[in-house]
Each structure stands twice: as C-alpha cells, then as structure tokens.
Amino acid sequence: MSSVKIKFVDPLVMAFSLPPNADMDLGGWLRIYDEQLSGFTDSVLEAAAKNLIASRKMRSFPLVAECLEACRAAHESAMLRARVDEKGVTSRKDDPAFKDACRALADKLFASELGRQALKEDWAWTFHDWLMKNQRQPNRFEIEKIRTQGMANSLRFLTLAGCDDGIVDKTPLTFQSRKFIKWREAATDRLKQLASVG
C-alpha cells in the first residue's frame, strides 16, 4: 500500500466525497493520485492532507491539481520552518542556508538512475534545476516535460557554442559565450560526479 494512499488519500476520503467515476475504477483513480504525488515525503503528504481538510470549503474530493498545490505548499512551509535561523530570516532570497539546503537535496535526488539517464541524454542541467525548485523526484509525466525542455536547452547551447547539426562555425565566440561554455563544462562535470555517487 502506497504512502500516498495511507498518508494523503485515506484522511481526505474521511472528509470529502469521492468523485462519481472513482467507484467505477477505484484502483485506477488511486493510481492517478499516486503517480502525481509519489515524489513527496510522508510528512509533507500528511501536512497537505490536514491543510486541505482544514481549509477546503467544498465537500467534493480535491482535484489532482489542488492536491499538488497543497503538497508543494506543505513542502515549502516545512523547508522554511527548518531553515529559519536565530535572526528570523525566512525569505529564500535572504537565507543562504535555505539555498544550500535546496542544492544539497537536489544533489542527493540527482544521484540516481534518472540523473544518469539525464546525463546520457543531455538534459541533466534542466533536471537538476527542476530538482532545486521542486525538491522532490518528478513523476513520469513531469519527466517527459523536463526531458523535452532539457533537450531544447542543449540545442540552444550547441548553437551558442557554434556547433549546429555537427557543423562547427568558424566565427570567433564572444567573451560571454566562452565564459558560458566553460561554466557549462564545469557544471556538467559536477553533475557527472553526483551521478556516479548514486
């Protein structure tokens, strides 16, 4: 039995009416929620369910989009609570410890089979950026979006670097382009090191 069902769906079922189509295929209905929310921790799922029960004013079961939004809010709230220092800094912009914690978790999540796949298919940067922002593993639908965006980003990089369709442009690169290419190579090396750890 999944954490999504136990920590999130079961409490909501006690408070809200299931949609009519859920009775026809309960397993399929649960699978949709499980696929979308499985990247969140048990504590985030539990907090999101409590928040929805306390704040939602309709009796119908929340849509997947509402559930994702509630889980993201619960996750961000937990991260902020964990990072508030003795000065009361709660803004991401003002709190380097918060950014460091986000990067550390993104690095840990990247050190996986999916991270190695992203490196091999050249969408690793976009994947790591997504992990920094969302602080969880993506579901299968999100993976496809990340892969598509990442490959488009890589194509833009090749164009910037003077390589398009394998043809090297002999035009001298600008200082900014050379600087960006060096940064990308260093960042890619760092991601390769992360992926080899997992």
- Do 79 and 102 reside in the same domain of the chain? no
Residue pair 138/39 in contact (Cβ under 8 Å)? The answer is: yes
Max Cα–Cα distance, the chain, nearest Å: 67
Indicate whether 142 belongs to any domain: yes
Q: What are phi and psi of 167, to 5 degrees?
A: -100, 125
Percent composition of the chain: helix, strand, coil (DSSP 3-state, to 5):
70, 5, 25
Residues 65 and 114 in one domain: no
Residue 128: both structure tokens together: 């790591």
Last residue of a domain, one of 20, 52, 83: 83
Would you give the DSSP letter of residue 59? S
Q: Which of 24-28, 49-53, 100-104 has the highest mean pLDDT?
A: 49-53
Q: Give yes or no for residue 165 having a pLDDT over 80.
A: no
Counted domains in the chain = 2
What percent of the chain clears pLDDT 90, i.e. is strictly above it? 27
pLDDT in tens, 84-135: 544 455 555 556 666 777 888 888 888 888 999 999 998 888 999 888 888 8
Residue range of the domain that includes 68: 3-83
Which phi-psi region, left, alpha or beta, contains residue 91 (left: φ > 0; alpha: ψ -120 to 50)? beta
Assess whether 62 and 149 both reside in one domain.
no
- Residue 185 CA to residue 57 CA, distance in Å, equals 51
Find the helix or strand (DSSP H, E) in which 135 lies.
none
pLDDT tens by residue, 68-82: 989 988 888 777 666
| Tens digits of residue pLDDT in 147-160 | 999 888 777 766 66
